[in-house]
Structures are given as C-alpha cells and as structure tokens.
Copies of this chain bind each other. A is one copy, B any other.
Amino acid sequence: MSATIYDVAREAGVSMATVSRVLNDTAVVKEETKKRVQDAIAKLSYRPNAVARGLASKKTKTVGVIVPDVSAAFMAEVVRGIEDVARMYNYHIILCNSDGMLQREIDLVGTMWEKQVDGLVFMSPALLPEHIQTFEEAQLPIVLCRTDDPERRIPSVNIDNACASRDAVAFLRERGASRIAFIGDRTGDQTLTGLRREGYEEAVLRAGLVPVFIDTAAGDYASGLLAVRTQLSIETVDALIAANDELAIAALHACQDAGKRVPDDILIIGFDNTKLTQMARPALTTIAQPMYDYGAVAMRFLTKLLRDEPVDTYSVVLPHHIAEAASTRFHLA
C-alpha cells in the first residue's frame, strides 16, 4: 500500500488540511511548515490519488475525446493537437472511436459522463438532432471539432469548406481548366463532403460550366480508384477536385493508369493536406487544412470554457489555403 495524505500529515506533524494546502497551493502556509511537508512527501514518495481528488473536488482534470477513427491520418493529427494542448493545461484525454455511428456516439457521451470528464471534444462527420439532445442531457462543456453545426448551438472549430471548394475551382480556372469534376462520397462523410460539394457546384455553375460528379462508395483509396475507373470518361474532363487527399491520389493513379499525364492532360487537387500529398508523384496540390491546429484550437477553446474565461465567439473558423504542388503545375524543371 502506498502513502496517503494522512501519512504525510503524520510524518510532517501537521494536519491533512495543511498537506492539502501545500499540495494545491490553495492557501498560504508558513515556509517552515511547507518545507516539513515537502520533506515528508519526498520521504514517503507520496503521490496524490487523482480519483479521490476527483470525487472530493468534482473535477477530474480529464476530458473525453470522441473521434470517428484515430487510425485515419487526419484524425490522428488532430488528436495529437488536442493532447498537446490538454497537457499544457494539465488535462488528460480519454480517447474513444465511434466509427461515426450515432448510437455509439450517444453511448460514449453517456459513459464519458459516468467517468466524470470535465468536458468533451467531439468529432463526427454529420451532426444530427439526436446529437444535440444528447449533448444537452449530458450537461457537459462540449466543443465540436471539424463538425458542422448549421444552427451554431454548440461551440465549434471548423474551416469554411464551401469557400475552400470555391477557391479550388477558381484556382483551376486560372490555370485554364474548364471541365472540372468533383469526386467524393455521398454516404459516410455526409455533411462534410456535402459542404465541399456545394461549394464546388456553386462555383462551377456561376462560371457557366457544367458540374460533373463522381460518387464514391466511401472516402478511401480503393473506393476512389474504382469510382474513377468506372464512372469517368477521362476525355471529358480537364481537372479534378477530390473531397480528400486519399481520393485525390486514387484519382491520380486511375488517370495515370488510363494513360493520362498529370498535370499535362488533367489537373488534380486534393483536400486536407495530409502527408500523403508529398508522397505522391507528381506531388499533389491540396486544400490545406490546419489539422494539428484543429485539435489544438478546439482543446484551447474547451479550456476556456472550463475556466470560465470569456470567449469571443462560439464558432471559430480556421483559415485554409491552397498548397500548390506539381499536380497542378505545368512545365516542371
């Protein structure tokens, strides 16, 4: 059995309250007594029990993080951002994967409540009324991350996806493209891909061009490869915007396999700026999102909520930009 605050008190010849005071620096303690207490702590190699502390103080210094799937490159980076900021503010994170399944998400919010987390960072491809209701019942400070709440009821951190797509269309038109297609899934990533698709469609129509949609079964490489191969007459298109980088690489390879040269015959632009883009040949132009910052900003936001610091807005919009690489650049050296 290891030492308790009581043992330390006895060893130092003071009351447990005093020990608690030097531990938490919650009241002034005479230098000399403080020294005695610290010596006792060292001697017994005492460490406070966070569970007992949590029960007594009703604060666990732990936040829940619910993501669809950490093993996705994007998510992993976001989680890293969350954890870094959490540590900075002395929090730990309990990480849960929901696979984007509503019931699991709901259950998780419940078990996170049971664990008495101080708050929650929540990521999901689409926000439903059920989510909102669950959040309200949970009575927990929650920050949405890369999860759009159209009605802005829950604090959130996002980029402007539709705008990003419009920028991509403009970018491609500047480079001479006039038949621009969009490749993305209509199932899994609903809202997110939806916003990107909307921006694309709007920009294309406004330019007097014809939208071309390539629908994939999911957002991964294999789905992308299949969709481009089966749905696209490559001759009819001179540029491609993908809903994420993995799909962009799939499109790139499908085009190359069909004998098309990128960027000479067709321009390709991805979404997210994961590491993958640099590892493609040609390297992929992509709409860069601040992945790490997504997490970092969301967690920072949450700490503000937890400390009742003032927040200027309930929906943070992060900047995006187009990171240009070879896949949209003619005349390489």
Contact = CB atoms under 8 A, between A and B. Distances in A.
Interface in A245-292: 246, 249, 253, 256, 275-276, 278-281, 292
A284 to B, nearest CB: 11
A137 B47 CA distance: 12
Q: Secondary structure of the A side of the interface?
A: helix
A275 B245 CA distance: 13
Contact of A76 (B48, B73, B83, B87): B73
Given A92-B96, A92-B111, A256-B281, A52 B49 contact: no
Given A96-B92, A114-B50, A249 B279 contact: yes
Contacts of A65: 95
A70 B60 contact: no
30 contacts: A48-B114, A49-B55, A49-B114, A49-B116, A50-B115, A51-B54, A51-B55, A51-B115, A55-B55, A62-B115, A70-B83, A71-B80, A73-B73, A73-B76, A73-B275, A75-B76, A76-B76, A80-B97, A83-B95, A87-B96, A92-B94, A92-B111, A94-B94, A221-B275, A246-B279, A253-B279, A253-B281, A276-B279, A279-B279, A279-B280
Interface in A56-88: 60, 62, 65, 69-73, 75-77, 79-80, 83-84, 87
A94 B93 contact: yes
Contact of A71 (B47, B77, B92): B77
Given A49-B114, A114-B48, A76 B70 contact: yes
Contacts of A92: 94, 96, 111, 115
A110 interface: yes
Interface residues of A, number: 52
A71 B62 contact: no
A75 B75 CA distance: 12
Interface of A: 2, 45, 47-52, 54-55, 60, 62, 65, 69-73, 75-77, 79-80, 83-84, 87, 92-97, 110-111, 113-116, 137, 139, 221, 246, 249, 253, 256, 275-276, 278-281, 292
